[in-house]
Amino acid sequence: MSRRREPDIDFDLMMSNQGVTRMDEREAQRKGKPGAVLRAAGPEPVVAPPAMDGQQRALLEKALAEIRRLTAATQAAERKAAEAEARTALAERKATEAEARTAAAEQVAAEARKAVERAQQADARTAAAERKAAAADVERQAAEALLDEVKREAVSTLRLDECLARSGLARPAPDFAALVAALHAADKLPELLRRITLLPNAELMHFLDDRLAWTCDTCAPTLTGPNRTRVPVPPEQCDVCGGSSIQAAAQRFTQACQRAKVTRVVIVGGSPTYHDALRKLEPGLGGVRLNLIRGDAARDKQRAAQDLAGADVAFIWASTVLDHRVGELYRGNKVHTLPVRGLGRMLTEAAKRLTPPR
């Protein structure tokens, strides 16, 4: 008995009818290329599947299930591959950005190295300048030492009267002898010698005005204070009377003040001896009040302005100890300069400057 021959089955057609695509077609579609298709172009003839027994159908269904499983696995693998490609692209972008940041950091580092080099060069120039400054300081110290030596040699040959004259003490030669004798008798000569220098010395003049009183025998009683040493001089060289009658000069000054309606007078300058004598004269000046300001007093613009505001007239007593910084503070229409020494001559000259109001 001959067996019945089963008809041939078109497997690709059967799979297509089941919705299963060939793997080479899927790969071609994924890559965007036309894949090789075994089926002929055009509509496929519909072929009815042959009749199958139960065993064949079970085998077919098993094969179809395996095919679907493989297809799903393939699709999952393809998705993972696409995700991996996306991650790779992202990693490449990050790598590019990292390279850009690295290049920028290298540029910043190069600029920092250049800045360090410039700072090192500046430090080197500063060190060179400091060495030059140190050398200049050494030269300056050597020059100062040489100058001190020259000064010492000059002082050693300078006469006392010349030194005192350079400091502003204009006196006849015999007066200097009397000065030295008076200071020696009062045991103050060493203090004088400590202040003597080659250059003009305001401190020396202050010492002489504070410690000495150049008075004639008639004015000797005006000397006050235990620290004052009298140097006897002729009347015409007396710092108090100047060879003229002080009472007569005070009387002329009082009358001039009354005519000019002046009751408040500022006097800037004068030694302590002069100030002592003026204070003794003040009660007899007919109510004129004196504001006596030493020439080396501590004054500022505000204090000087207050002095002038409270005065009718002000006199700058030149030819006495007078710091120019103090004298410069007193300026204005009511200020007069008296370039004289001697109390009598100062009062006489002041009286001439007072004019009655019109």
Tell me if residue 274 falls in helix, strand or coil: helix
pLDDT for 358 equals: 66
> Is 3.40.50 the CATH classification of the domain at 251-353?
yes
**Per-residue pLDDT tens listing for the chain (358 residues):** 455 454 555 566 666 666 666 666 666 666 665 544 444 445 555 555 566 688 888 888 888 899 999 999 899 999 999 998 999 999 899 989 989 898 888 898 888 899 888 989 988 898 888 888 888 788 778 767 766 665 555 444 445 656 665 555 556 655 666 766 776 676 766 666 665 554 445 566 666 666 777 778 877 766 555 666 778 888 777 777 766 678 888 889 999 999 999 999 999 988 777 888 889 889 989 899 999 998 878 888 999 999 999 999 999 988 777 778 888 899 989 999 998 877 888 899 999 999 877 6
Distance between CA atoms of residues 267 and 1, nearest Å:
168
**Quick count: other Cβ atoms within 10 Å of Cβ 116?**
10
Stated pTM of the model: 0.43
CA distances from 34 to 12, 19, 25, 28 (A): 18, 19, 8, 6
pLDDT for 292 equals: 93
CB 276 within 8 A of CB 221: no
pLDDT for 224 equals: 54
Distance between CA atoms of residues 167 and 201, nearest Å:
5
Tell me, rounded to whole angstroms, the distance of Cα 348 from its chain centroid: 54
pLDDT for 266 equals: 95
pLDDT for 136 equals: 78
Tell me if residue 223 falls in helix, strand or coil: coil
pLDDT for 198 equals: 45
pLDDT for 41 equals: 47
**Quick count: other Cβ atoms within 10 Å of Cβ 138?**
10
pLDDT for 291 equals: 94
pLDDT for 18 equals: 60
pLDDT for 219 equals: 75
